[in-house]
Amino acid sequence: MRAICPGSFDPVTHGHLDVVVRASRMFDEVLVAVGRNSAKNYLFSPDERAAMLADATSELPNVRVDLLDGLLVDYCREREIDVIVKGLRFAGDFEFELQMAQMNFALSGIETIMLPTAAKWAHLSSTMIREVAKLGGDVTQFVTPAVAERIRDKMATDNQGGRA
Ligand code: PNS
């Protein structure tokens, strides 16, 4: 079976990777899809987010990274993807994910399965990592070394360019 792990991944964290690794053990093929949600203000471009994911998942032979444009269910239909996999950190995630799962099912009949995030990473969010990094905090324990370096580079560039 073919599964998809969609998300913003801005940037990918150990929490995301935990879910991707577990999905890769459950399904024949896993597509990690980097979405562009127009309501969000991203730190990294879609290409940068996809590159960080490709690097972080390079050891997983059945995992591929792609960019997601348009509706997730259309993407899944075109690529014959059977299941959407989402990670759940806490009850708040569930409410939103349930609504999305029900909408996606109503639109296309695709199933969503939700994996509880490892407790170790339950406090992580890309939003918080961006905030900590912007304010000069150390985020190295939450992301891969390559992602930490990209964050450092981004902060240095943004500070030079006058972006907070
Ligand atoms: O990491 P995020 O920001 O929670 O990921 C959100 C994402 C990309 C999974 C979601 O915005 C999405 O599925 N976007 C594709 C557009 C779409 O199908 N929207 C309707 C969802 S019910």
Per-residue pLDDT tens over the stretch 144-154:
999 999 999 99
- pLDDT value for 38: 66
Per the confidence metrics, is the pTM higher than 0.85?
A: yes
Q: Which residue has the higher pLDDT, 14 or 36?
A: 14
Instruction: Mark whether 163 is an active-site residue.
Output: no
**pLDDT, tens digit, 9 for 90 and up, residues 104-118:** 999 999 999 999 999
Counting from 1 in the atom list of ligand 1, the atom nearest the Cα of 71 is 18
**pLDDT, tens digit, 9 for 90 and up, residues 74-99:** 999 999 999 999 999 999 999 999 99
Residues in contact with ligand 1 (CB, 6 Å cut-off): 6-8, 35, 37, 68, 71-72, 100, 103-104
**59 secondary structure, DSSP code:** T
Catalytic residue among 8, 49, 86, 126: 126
Instruction: Mark whether 40 is an active-site residue.
Output: yes
Catalytic residue among 89, 130, 150, 154: 89
- pLDDT value for 164: 43
List strand residue ranges (DSSP E) for the chain, in order: 2-7, 29-35, 63-68, 83-88, 111-116
With beta carbons less than 8 A apart as the criterion, state whether 133 and 139 touch: yes
Residue 69 tokens read as: 């444009």
Testing ligand 1's pocket by substitution, the residue of 68, 72, 94 carrying the most ligand atoms inside 8 A of its CB is 72
